[in-house]
Each structure stands twice: as C-alpha cells, then as structure tokens.
Amino acid sequence: MAETAAPFDISSASRSAHLARFVADNRGASLCLAILLGFVAVALLAPWIGGDAHTMNPLQRLQPPGAEYWFGTDRIGRNVFARTLYGARISLLVGASVTVVTVGLGLTVGLLAGYVRTVDAFAMRLMDALMAIPGVLLAIAMMTLFGTGLINVIVAISIPEIPGVVRLVRSVVLSLREQPYVEAAVAVGTRLPRILVRHILPNTIAPLLVQGSLVFAGAVITEAILSFLGAGMPSEIPSWGNMVAEGRLAFQTAPWIVLFPGFCLAFLVLTINILGDRLRDTLDPRVAKGMP
C-alpha cells in the first residue's frame, strides 16, 4: 500500500510564492530587509569602515561629533563611531545565535511534546516552570552564576526564550496530529521521525519565521540590558549596552556617547519587528484573506 502524501497547508511552491510576493509587493518590508542587510554589512566591515575601537587618546576625550570623529569620542578618548560599528557585531551575533539555538531546541521539543503524550506531560511542566520566572531576571541570575562572556550571554538569553517556541510548535502539532493524512501515515506504518519531518514540520515553518523575528529582536534588547547592568559582555568589549552604561556618567556634557548607540539599538529592533510583522501578514493565510 502506497504511503499517503500529506496535503501541506503551505507547500514548498506556495511558500516560495509567498516570499516572492513578500519582497516584490511590500515596499516597507523590502526596505526593512535592506536596512537589516545594511546592518550586517556594516558589522562585517567595521574594521575597515570605523578603524580601531579600542585605542584610547585622553587628549581627545569628550570631543563632539565632527569631521575627524563622526560620532565624537568618549570619556577616555575612544572613537564612538568605531565602537558603535563594533557594537552592531555583538548585537547581530547574539541575536542570530539566540534565534538559532532557541528555534532549534524549541522546534525539537515542541514536535515531540505535541505528538508524544508522555513527553508532553513532562516537557510542558518544565516549560511552565521556566515561564514563571521573568526572562531578564533569569538571564541575570545565570550570568551572575556563570560569569560574563559571549557564550554565557547566548545561553542565558536562549533558555528563557525556549518555552515560547515550544508552546507555539506544540499548538501546531496538536492541531495536525489528528488530520486524516497523518492518521493515514500512521496506518501504513510510517515511523515517527518521518511523520514529524515530512507531514508536520513543513506546517510549522511560517509561524516559526515570525516567532524567530521576535526572538531575534528580544535577544538584542536583552543583551543590551545585561551589558548595561554589568552582567553581559565584558566592559572592554564594545557593545551598545556597555556604551550606554559608560556614557550615562557624562550624559549631560557628552550626550552623543549614549545617543548614537541607543539610536542604533532602537532602529535595529524596530526594523526587525516591522519585518516580522510584515512576514506574518504575508505568510498567515487568515490575515491574507482578511479573516479575524
């Protein structure tokens, strides 16, 4: 007996058409995507565009923005423009890493929890316990326990974000496991991994793309919060949170130390949120048809 193919809600061809229409028809989303790619390009080219971000020149301390120092200098004479570009590296790296870790683990646990009832009972109680603790508070506690550093920041931010992805994927799986094509696959003896990968996983892609954009933006903000509080990146590493924390001491006399990294942080998060919102409008068939 031939295996019954799953009538995916969103086929590969349909997803490609959605994404093509997303880029072609939505100018706002295309602009946000271009801005995001610009941030990535600037972060990668930071050493060549901004120069050295660590050199201290006390004789040039607290210089206002001008031809020599586009964003001015900080309290010990470091180039704020160069440090802002390097800060984009940290934010994008943390955001991308947290998104990959969170979506990868959340997708795996969510698929198993939604389909295997014995896994569901244990996994969801663990997720409920994690969600009971505010994410920033849990991240601060973990950073206090394990110390500052890039890897620790990624882990500390990822763990509080995983329950949201797990619950999202689980809800999709619960609505799909009783579908006729899944039951037909079970009836012909299809193994569990193949059922999850072939018949269920494709239907989670669209909501995961949207959730991933939210996780990315949240990770960027949380990293800045941790660094501002002294519990994130080491103080010698130029991140936007560190720059704002250092600049607050001289804000009245040199506001540019805070304003430029703060503006870049807000602009990046706004861009990602708008991009995720437009992506949801394009991939969600209910929104596309004007349904509530």
**pLDDT tens digits, one per residue of 198-217:** 878 888 888 888 889 899 99
Q: State the pLDDT at residue 33.
A: 86
Is the model's pLDDT at 63 over the cut of 70? yes
Instruction: Tell me the CATH number for domain 79-288.
Output: 1.10.3720.10
pLDDT band at 10 (very low <50, low <70, confident <90, very high): very low
How much of the chain exceeds pLDDT 90, in percent? 28
184 compared with 138, residue with greater pLDDT: 138
pLDDT band at 16 (very low <50, low <70, confident <90, very high): low
Is the model's pLDDT at 3 over the cut of 60? no
Q: What is the distance between the alpha carbons of residues 237 and 87, in angstroms, rounded to a whole number?
A: 8
Q: What is the distance between the alpha carbons of residues 109 and 29, in angstroms, rounded to a whole number?
A: 31
For residue 180, give the H/E element and its range: helix 180-187
Q: What is the DSSP string of 72-90?
A: -B-TTS-BHHHHHHHHHHH
Average pLDDT over residues 255-265: 91
Is the model's pLDDT at 108 over the cut of 70? yes
Average pLDDT over residues 170-188: 79
Q: State the pLDDT at residue 254.
A: 86
pLDDT band at 250 (very low <50, low <70, confident <90, very high): confident
Q: What is the distance between the alpha carbons of residues 60 and 79, in angstroms, rounded to a whole number?
A: 9
pLDDT band at 7 (very low <50, low <70, confident <90, very high): very low
Yes or no: say if 216 and 228 are a contact pair by the CB < 8 Å rule: no
Tokens of 67: 């031809």
Q: What is the distance between the alpha carbons of residues 263 and 243, in angstroms, rounded to a whole number?
A: 12
Sequence-ordered alpha helix ranges (H) in the chain: 12-25, 27-44, 46-49, 80-115, 117-131, 135-146, 150-176, 180-187, 192-194, 205-228, 240-247, 256-283, 285-288
* Mean pLDDT over each residue of the chain, to the nearest integer: 82
Q: What is the distance between the alpha carbons of residues 193 and 178, in angstroms, rounded to a whole number?
A: 17
Rounded to the nearest 5 percent, the helix, strand and coil shares of the chain are: 75, 0, 25
Q: State the pLDDT at residue 104.
A: 92
Q: Which of 56-60, 81-85, 177-181 has the weakest average pLDDT?
A: 177-181
Work out the end-to-end distance of the chain between its first and last CA atoms, rounded to an integer number of angstroms. 41
Burial class (CB in 10 A: 0-12, 13-18, 19+), 61: middle
Yes or no: say if 210 and 279 are a contact pair by the CB < 8 Å rule: yes
Q: State the pLDDT at residue 15.
A: 54
Q: Each residue of 150-159: b (16+ CB within 10 Å) or e?
A: bebbbbbbbb
Q: Each residue of 207-231: b (16+ CB within 10 Å) or e?
A: bbbbbbbbbbbbbbbbbbbbbbeeb
Q: Which of 10-24, 25-39, 234-248, 256-270 has the weakest average pLDDT?
A: 10-24
Q: State the pLDDT at residue 88.
A: 92
Provide the angle, in degrees to the nearest 10, between the axes of the packed helices 12-25 and 256-283: 130
pLDDT band at 18 (very low <50, low <70, confident <90, very high): low
Tokens 């990624």 appear where?
A: 154
Q: State the pLDDT at residue 37.
A: 93
Domain extent listing, the chain: 79-288
Burial class (CB in 10 A: 0-12, 13-18, 19+), 189: exposed
Q: State the pLDDT at residue 187.
A: 76
Q: State the pLDDT at residue 84.
A: 92
Average pLDDT over residues 215-223: 93
Q: What is the distance between the alpha carbons of residues 36 and 126, in angstroms, rounded to a whole number?
A: 35
Q: What is the distance between the alpha carbons of residues 211 and 161, in angstroms, rounded to a whole number?
A: 10
Is the model's pLDDT at 267 over the cut of 50? yes
pLDDT band at 41 (very low <50, low <70, confident <90, very high): very high
The model's pTM is 0.83
Average pLDDT over residues 64-75: 86
